[in-house]
Amino acid sequence: MIKVATIAGSDASGGAGLEADLKTFQEYGVYGMAAVTLIATMDGDRDWAHQVFPLSEEVLRAQLHTIFDGIGLDALKTGMLGSTYAVDMAADMIRTHAIDRYVLDPVMVCKGAGEALHPELNERVASVLLPLSIVVTPNLFEAGQLAGMDTPATIDEMKEAARRIHARGARNVFIKGGSRLEGQASALDIFFDGKDFNQVESALIDTRWTHGAGCTVAAAITAGLGLGLEPYEAVSRAKKFITYSLRSGFALNRWVGPGNPAGWRKGFN
């Protein structure tokens, strides 16, 4: 059995975070494990305001010990880390266990929350985790932050950000422009392996129900790498997977709706 793990936050609403990761791993037919860094909750009495409860260093260390020392893994993803000790412990485990297939999802914002969640962590994530990653999956905002430039708004700016992020140590950079790129008629992402650029494109999906999309993409890439795909193949397959997922997204309540990682089973309709 292929075994993959996520080090991420738990999203009590079930659409993002490690819940999205585990659902995605299941759809890929790999065995999923999770080390919880924090628990995110949302309050329906306060317009779905987010709150984050970090778990202690001790609790995180014990989980990492279970997964890395007690079991072993074929690929790893990190999502929302939420503390400097989580960043440093993840890095330490990746180094000690020589984890080659490590996907860094540099989660800096939650769609629901709007603001950067742990701005003080962004630079540490960039300096400590980027050099360990086989693929990093920033959205436009995160790409700007990792690259030390304004949020890219054009394809050329995305490429410039990708070059800079690669120069900081990520072996492959996948920047998700998605629907947010100005004047773009498709969902357009950029993949850069340090030599060549590939545009990864799909039709735009007109939906509000995109909660957890970023987590799902990174988890799909991780599962693909665990199964032995090359980085670009894993990214291409993840792009198809998220397109199916977003096509079958649905509302949970009046604020939020996730994609559906099981969407690929129905195929396009």
Question: Which residues sit at the interface with ligand PXL, rule CB under 6 A?
Answer: 8-11, 16-17, 40, 79-80, 107, 110, 112, 212, 214-215
Distance of closest approach, residue 113 Cβ to ligand PXL, in angstroms: 7
Tell me how far apart the alpha carbons of residues 46 and 189 are, in angstroms, rounded to a whole number. Answer: 34
Q: What are the CA-CA distances from residue 126 to residues 7, 32, 90 (Å)? A: 16, 26, 13
Nearer to ligand PXL, 11 or 157 (CB): 11
- Least CB distance to ligand PXL at residue 156 (A): 27
CA distance 13 to 169: 34
Question: Please, what is the minimum distance in Å from the beta carbon of residue 239 to ligand PXL?
Answer: 17
91 or 110: whose CB is closer to ligand PXL? Answer: 110
Tokens found for residue 219: 């988890």
- In angstroms, give the least distance from the CB of 242 to ligand PXL: 13
For 118-123, which contacts have Cβ atoms below 8 Å and span 24 or more sequence positions? 118/81, 118/82, 118/83, 121/81, 121/82, 121/83, 121/84, 121/87, 122/146
Closest CB to ligand PXL among 96 and 253? 253
